[in-house]
Amino acid sequence: MPRIVKFDATGPIKIDPNLKVGDVPPAPNVIPWPRDDAGNLKVVSVCACGISSKFPFCDGAHKQCKTEDPACVYQYDPVTKQVVGKTP
């Protein structure tokens, strides 16, 4: 289903498997790859709906998109994840 998503970043988000939580990243757009309690790299889900609060990672917000009509374009509030606009 199509939806309007607003991004304010001007560059990529880099996920570095060499960084651990607590390391100082070389730039603000570089984040560590998620790890489990033992320090092992975790499998992650990447957001494909565009409304995740943890973008580029999935946070489950796509569940809000479940009932979208494929013939419409949806606009979501970035904070509440509620539909604020729908056009055919």
pLDDT category at 85 given cuts 50, 70, 90 is: very high
Instruction: Provide DSSP, 6-39.
Output: ----SSPPEEETT--TTS--SSTTEEEPPB-TTS
Give the residue with greater pLDDT, 40 vs 8.
40
Domain extent, residue 55, equals: 1-88
67's CB contacts (< 8 A; 6+ apart) are: none
The mean pLDDT of the chain is: 86
Number of domains in the chain: 1
What pTM was computed for the model?
Answer: 0.64
pLDDT for the residue numbered 1:
63
| Span 12-22, pLDDT tens digits | 888 888 887 78
Quick one: average pLDDT of 38-62? 89
pLDDT for the residue numbered 12:
81
